[in-house]
Structure 1
């Protein structure tokens, strides 16, 4: 597919996604400027990131360091990289080299690994969000609701990290509206203790409307923007 054809395809998809965001904000009585679109570029080439940047999308989401690190190095456009996938501590050094925000902090050990890497490898703090386990299932990652306060206090005390809010994925066996209502409650309690932690990363291609209705400040959209592709090899 030629560059012009591909950019036109992405532009059309972007128009449709932005219309959905605007409609969801209007239905919720919210200002659309309060919702940031993160283009999930995992499995898509660096050239698609360039297309998105040219179209005004500057926030990109990745979930595998082995793909994200070389892609970030290849992209010259001024974009913000969001690491949104499960993260192992041994990848912390690599991720802090390019990520502006890490959405998936769910343990003190991971936070400490990131903080240590920041102190050694960069001259600016790393923004982090806590991944919340909405249903408490330990197999999907995320901190359960009853562990949020303690982890938040610990993260806030670590040098090099800035606690910015929460992230979650709606479990398949729970209606998105119910899942994001629970997340909104967790987020509100967190903000009461940490006012700067006011971001809510929630909602994807299939459920962004429900997320926006319950206060999402960031929605993570891949397929609706970039289409279905075979994974990068």
Structure 2
């Protein structure tokens, strides 16, 4: 299949999953995860209608920014070191992996220097995997209270990475828990400045349909669009 055909197939699957849940597929943003993908392949995805690209290496993202116009929205989806914030602060549309106070402080500082407010998602380690980044669920609300009011960032939702599985139904509880956590955190943090939990970034190639059924507003798809990495 060509990249255009893969994009169309993924969009069809998103639409079908949304229909099963009684949702509008227009509520779901498809982010094509383009880490290690050459710009030529990204241009094929762009020609197929993709406008949201996800990168997980700050310097690679920095090098790709000039290859596209301002209609492309760049998502940073990997763990971000504080000393790499400078590479993405100006051009990143959404940071998916805010997970510690030191990172929030550096984002606040760097985005402020650029005269902008950087939208962020708090990464949550819902499944409690020791090898995964992200806050444990019980620490999300205290963290939101810590970062509320920072001038250079706004928290607009939560993100999680589900454990790998051959059966997406096994990770449905992970996605459901993230949605429930977002609802509860929104109640507890109502009125806090800079906290507006409207997005759920969850679901990748092996499980995105279940994530959409459980309320994902952003899915991060790499392999199903660009094929296996070399």
Alignment counterpart, residue 75 of structure 2, candidates 72, 82, 92: 82
Q: Which residue in the other structure is 1:5 paired with? A: none
CA distance in 1, matches of 2:201, 2:3: 23
Secondary structure at the counterpart of residue 196 of structure 1: strand
Q: Is the 8 A contact 1:83 1:101 kept in 2?
A: yes
CA distance in 2, matches of 1:175, 1:56: 32
Secondary structure at the counterpart of residue 140 of structure 1: coil
**5+ residue gaps in structure 2?**
none
CA distance in 1, matches of 2:146, 2:46: 35
Q: For residues 143-173 of structure 1, give each alpha carbon's deviation from its aligned partner in whole angstroms, at most 9, with x where no partner exists.
A: 1111100111222221110110000000237
Q: Which residue in the other structure is 1:18 paired with? A: 11
Alignment counterpart, residue 177 of structure 1, candidates 172, 177, 185: 172
- 2:147 is equivalent to residue 155 of structure 1: yes
**Count of residues paired in the alignment:** 222
Q: Which residue in the other structure is 2:115 paired with? A: 123
CA distance in 1, matches of 2:199, 2:118: 15
Q: Is the 8 A contact 1:104 1:131 kept in 2?
A: yes
Task: Give the Å deviation of 1:73.
Answer: 2.4
CA distance in 1, matches of 2:28, 2:103: 28
Q: Which residue in the other structure is 1:3 paired with? A: none
Alignment counterpart, residue 33 of structure 2, candidates 34, 40, 49: 40
CA distance in 2, matches of 1:134, 1:172: 13
CA distance in 1, matches of 2:80, 2:151: 20
**Once superposed, which parts of structure 1, at least 4 consecutive aligned residues long, lie more than 3 Å away?**
none
**5+ residue gaps in structure 1?**
1-7
- State the superposition RMSD in angstroms: 1.7
Matches within 5 A, 1:59-74: 59-74=52-67
Q: Which residue in the other structure is 1:216 paired with? A: 216
